[in-house]
Amino acid sequence: MPHLLILAIPVPPRSLEMLGELTEEREVATPFGPVGPLARRQRSGQNPGVWILPYFGSPTRTDPRATIWAAKDLGVQRILAVEGMVGLAHDLTRGDMVIPVDYIDWTKHQPTTFFQQTGAGYISQKPPFCPDISAAIRQHLPRARPVIYLGDEGPRHETAAEARMFQQWGAQARGLNLVPETYLAKELELCFAAIGLIAAHGADREPARGEGEVRRATREVLEALPAIFATLPDPPTCGCNHLQDSARQRGVLSNDWRTWK
């Protein structure tokens, strides 16, 4: 199965060559709008490669349901997101690397789910992120610090008062691209985890100084990705691909995920 890499941080195009040759480009039509273009890269002799989707939170962003639906449609089981984040914790600064281990949903959309009718989306958020992918990240990027993630939706920056409030809640990093994607992935029984690169300070601090730290850290992450993907156990040991078993057994969901709603 190919993996999906969601890139919510700018990267120089040539830097993606370390993920292999470009073998395919396509857009995926979904009931929630088109997704893509996605680019597939494969290293020689290493199938099935990785789909890469550039991704940025904005008012015109891709519907998160479309993103996750497209991943399922492409036969992906594992989604790894790399995101530029705001360091809320005062000891996080530009170029620091983090791995979200839990999250707070501060998005203000109407509840987003694939299951408006059935309620099958009431899925435990423990663990919040895929254990298999998270373990592989920790193995190959040991300096990635575990953090509580604040999922916001922009398009503005947080205020200083909000930055202080988020920290009182226990949040250490803020971003726009992992929520609701992480729980939508659970609904469709996909694995989802992320690596964060701190690109700015929270609004209650002086702006972060320095040049090049984020670019260097991004390169470090991209260089580690082939090893991270190669470490993932096959078949998965995380259980993410069985989260709807009880709904299926109760007859709430059919075996064909395309009919789920």
Residues of the shown chain interacting with Zn ion in the complex, contacts defined by CB under 5 A: 130, 132, 191, 238, 240
Are 57 and 154 in contact by the 8 Å Cβ rule? The answer is yes
Q: Which is nearer to Zn ion, 77 or 172 (CB)?
A: 77
Q: Which is nearer to Zn ion, 41 or 78 (CB)?
A: 78
Min dist. Cβ of residue 76 to Zn ion (A): 12
User: Bridge-partner residues for 174, per DSSP?
Assistant: 86, 150
Q: Which is nearer to Zn ion, 70 or 238 (CB)?
A: 238
Min dist. Cβ of residue 236 to Zn ion (A): 5
216 Cα distance to chain centroid: 20
Match 């983090």 to its residue by tokens: 98
Min dist. Cβ of residue 190 to Zn ion (A): 8
Q: Which is nearer to Zn ion, 99 or 130 (CB)?
A: 130
For residues 139 and 253, give the distance between their C-alpha atoms in angstroms, rounded to a whole number: 36
Which residues, in sequence order, are CB contacts of 26 under 8 Å at separation 6+? 36, 37, 38, 40
For residues 21 and 24, give the distance between their C-alpha atoms in angstroms, rounded to a whole number: 9
For residues 147 and 136, give the distance between their C-alpha atoms in angstroms, rounded to a whole number: 16
Q: Which is nearer to Zn ion, 3 or 94 (CB)?
A: 3
Min dist. Cβ of residue 235 to Zn ion (A): 11
Establish how many alpha carbons lie within 13 A of residue 25's alpha carbon, considering only the half-sphere containing its beta carbon.
5
Min dist. Cβ of residue 241 to Zn ion (A): 7
Q: Which is nearer to Zn ion, 166 or 192 (CB)?
A: 192
Min dist. Cβ of residue 194 to Zn ion (A): 13
Which residues, in sequence order, are CB contacts of 193 under 8 Å at separation 6+? 79, 80, 81, 99, 100, 129, 130, 133, 134, 137
Q: Which is nearer to Zn ion, 10 or 233 (CB)?
A: 233
Min dist. Cβ of residue 126 to Zn ion (A): 13
Match 């395919």 to its residue by tokens: 24
For residues 228 and 14, give the distance between their C-alpha atoms in angstroms, rounded to a whole number: 20
